[in-house]
Structure 1
């Protein structure tokens, strides 16, 4: 028995030493940061800002690769099945938590197939109304919606997206029936909102702000727990009479499960330092995103809460995506 225990201990020690040595040489080549959305959107903008700074700090190129399709599932699955060597990372959004409940046919598990590195940012959306809507605040909106079920419509970037779920959570918590109109992208929904084809939208702040400043769209409330510096006079939905309403978009970086912990820790340390860069901070502020920069353990715990939270919203709303 003693020789067996000695061999087992030796094997474990060699494995740890090998992992540490591998991490000391990391990175020795280009790192891919996969983004599950098209170029030009907020996830892509933030990812490219981080990639540029991170590459400088690591002394290797960090290349952003946009891999679209299936609500992000194509990108998430591809990274989950990549070698666990730290050279392929995923720039994840709230969808990686939501998809666990939305897509039964997905071929990855958010909580089992990834090594969380860090949550990058978090930021609320803003509920905006076309100027023809009579409601000046959420209380008036709820009162009108209850008296006129399905008369008000809200647009989103597609079924199962964070903009859709924000509306379904509002329906559930406020006890109303806003009609959901899915689009093939948030910009298309926003165009129809400005034109009056739909009345409401849960929009990212950066896209809505020019219309708010021009008086074309009216901000009714923000979706997070606290008010935003960009819109200090706009209350949260919860403080506007819809208790326990809270949903935010967030970005994070994960590696394939099994990535050596020294590499995960190195990436975490360097990415958190990157987030402190003034030029990146300014870019994030303009997008309405707040820097988080959590530890791997904190991000892992956060993901578990988000997966459960999104599952509850999906179940309550009856959303089904094939």
Structure 2
């Protein structure tokens, strides 16, 4: 039965049966056309790093183009997240986003703003990356160690500018978490994403940045930046000599920047199942593994059930941190 015939039959059925028939048709045919993968940041950040090789691999697996759509509207990724939340739950609009997904609605509530979206509108599909954030400064900066940085910041409260991907985005929360624990005040300069913030550090517009290893490694290897500390619980292979904040006595400073694929919570189960299968295949492909390993951010795959639990636990910790930080600009 073709689509026109199916719709004629559906018109004679009760509403529940119409809905079921429509989903059944869509489920068996998906994907019939190109898929859009929204990245709520400009190119150059962790979400974009994950999205591009994954999109290419999914194209080969699903047989349809997967178009990466960078929604560089700022607001820490809130604008792109909201656009994905409002999309039809038909599998043709996906979201590759970061851990700030859960933080941004809570930040809106802190300022008595209606949230642009709710986390409940999304269904986790797969985690792709999960890296501790690193504190980077220009290679020309006077600080050789984290203690140098802290000592200088205490002498000049509010005068050392740092960049972020926007208020309450991943890079902002990590830096404010550190600043609160160190008892220092820094100057927050928000950008439209991690890529522009990284460029600002390279140009000297800002003097510090929290970012993922994959977006920093080449710059550090080229001698353009220096890293002072690692927000993770352990040292990482791509920067084995870099101490953690815990190593340096900051026991409550721990932050990870993960990237994961999400769909709408109302996505029909058969499409979600096919998407999960495709993602499990994609993350094992050389076209995903090689570029991420080269960037210093190896695949950290989790399938939907495990990823859902991870998101819930990580979100609770980050929301608690945001409430502790309170209102900051």
What TM-score do you get using the length of structure 1 for normalisation? 0.82
> Which residue of 212, 219, 233 corresponds with 2:220?
212
Post-superposition CA distance 1:57-93 (Å, at most 9, x none): 1122222223332433332222222222222211122
1:57 partnered with 2:65: no
- Partner of 1:7 in structure 2? none
Write the mapping of 1:1-322 to structure 2, written as runs, cut at 5 A: 22-69=26-73, 70-103=75-108, 104-110=113-119, 112-131=120-139, 133-146=141-154, 149-150=157-158, 152-186=160-194, 189-190=197-198, 193-194=201-202, 198-320=206-328
| C-alpha distance in structure 1 between counterparts of 2:206 and 2:66, whole Å | 41
Post-superposition CA distance 1:253-310 (Å, at most 9, x none): 1111211222212211211210111231121123332322212122222222233222
Say which is worse superposed, 258-267 or 303-312, in terms of deviation. 303-312
Three-state SS of the structure 2 residue aligned to 1:129 is strand
- Shift of residue 117, structure 1, vs aligned partner: 0.9
Three-state SS of the structure 1 residue aligned to 2:33 is coil
- Shift of residue 113, structure 1, vs aligned partner: 0.8
Q: Which runs of 5+ in 2 are unaligned?
A: 1-14
Residue correspondences, number? 310
Post-superposition CA distance 1:175-219 (Å, at most 9, x none): 333333334554554455456564432233344334433444332
What TM-score do you get using the length of structure 2 for normalisation? 0.81
Three-state SS of the structure 2 residue aligned to 1:314 is helix
Three-state SS of the structure 2 residue aligned to 1:238 is coil
Post-superposition CA distance 1:161-185 (Å, at most 9, x none): 2222111010122333333333455
Q: Is the 8 A contact 2:165 2:172 kept in 1?
A: yes
Q: Which runs of 5+ in 1 are unaligned?
A: 1-10
- Shift of residue 109, structure 1, vs aligned partner: 0.8
| C-alpha distance in structure 1 between counterparts of 2:203 and 2:70, whole Å | 31
| C-alpha distance in structure 2 between counterparts of 1:204 and 1:293, whole Å | 17
| C-alpha distance in structure 1 between counterparts of 2:40 and 2:115, whole Å | 15
Call closer, same or farther: CA 1:201–1:39 in 2, change over 3 Å: closer
- Partner of 1:8 in structure 2? none
Q: Is the 8 A contact 2:127 2:307 kept in 1?
A: yes
- Partner of 2:9 in structure 1? none
Call closer, same or farther: CA 1:41–1:198 in 2, change over 3 Å: closer
Call closer, same or farther: CA 1:196–1:256 in 2, change over 3 Å: closer
- Shift of residue 228, structure 1, vs aligned partner: 2.1
Three-state SS of the structure 2 residue aligned to 1:75 is helix
- Shift of residue 54, structure 1, vs aligned partner: 0.8
Query: RMSD in angstroms over aligned alpha carbons?
Result: 3.0
